[in-house]
């Protein structure tokens, strides 16, 4: 027997009957077909599944979709304004803040959340703000540059 949920995702309210044990990451990927939210570890270690829920970044593999009932979720698919990239997305492009791209959606969502709460972070604050996201490729240097680029762009 399923449970009815109503969740606003990227500005559109979606209602679905789901199994109570369905994780939010699975709901986004399998029910709503929003595959930009990656599942990397299922243990909250990697951050690839990071989305913004009610203004705060969360790891969507750690909560059930029923816990998000009534919430407002933003995924990587909801950041761009048509063809215009969000400044953080643009920063990752301009500063080469990615290699394989697997961690990128989660890194971008965590960076957006960080800049929403701290519009002018220091390098140390950026590194601390992204500590819950693992990148196995880049060494983080260009990711930090990408967030700094976005912070400057968002302030101007």
The percent of residues in the chain predicted with pLDDT above 90, rounded, is 93
pLDDT confidence tier of residue 139, bands split at 50, 70 and 90: confident
pTM score of the predicted model: 0.95
If pLDDT is split at 50, 70 and 90, which confidence band does 113 have? very high
**Domains of the chain and CATH, by start:** 3-78 (3.10.20.30), 87-155 (1.10.150.120)
Confidence check: pLDDT of 9 > 90: yes
- Asked if 113 and 52 touch (Cβ cutoff 8 Å), the reply is yes
pLDDT, mean of residues 134-151: 94
In angstroms, rounded to a whole number, what is the distance separating the alpha carbons of residues 114 and 21?
29
| Averaged pLDDT score across all residues of the chain | 96
- Does the pLDDT of residue 51 top 80, yes or no? yes
Q: What is the pLDDT of residue 111?
A: 98
For residue 8, count CB atoms less than 10 angstroms from its CB and return exposed for 0-12, middle for 13-18, buried for 19 or more: middle
Beta strands in the chain (DSSP E): 3-9, 12-18, 50-53, 56-59, 72-74
pLDDT at residue 98, as a whole number: 92
């Amino acid at each position: 027997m399923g449970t009815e949920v109503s969740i606003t995702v990227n500005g559109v309210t979606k209602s679905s009957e789901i199994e109570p044990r369905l994780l939010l990451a699975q709901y986004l990927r399998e029910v709503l077909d929003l595959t930009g939210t990656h599942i990397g570890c299922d243990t909250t270690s990697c951050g690839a599944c990071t989305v913004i829920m009610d203004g705060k970044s969360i790891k969507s593999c750690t909560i059930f979709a029923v816990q998000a009932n009534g919430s407002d979720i933003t995924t990587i698919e909801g950041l761009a304004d048509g063809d215009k990239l969000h400044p953080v997305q643009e920063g990752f492009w301009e500063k080469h803040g990615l290699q394989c791209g697997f961690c990128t959606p989660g890194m971008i969502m965590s960076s957006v959340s960080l800049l929403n709460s701290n519009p002018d972070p220091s390098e140390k604050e950026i590194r601390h703000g992204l500590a819950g996201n693992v990148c196995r490729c880049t060494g983080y240097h260009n990711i930090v540059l990408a967030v700094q680029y976005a912070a400057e762009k968002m302030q101007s």
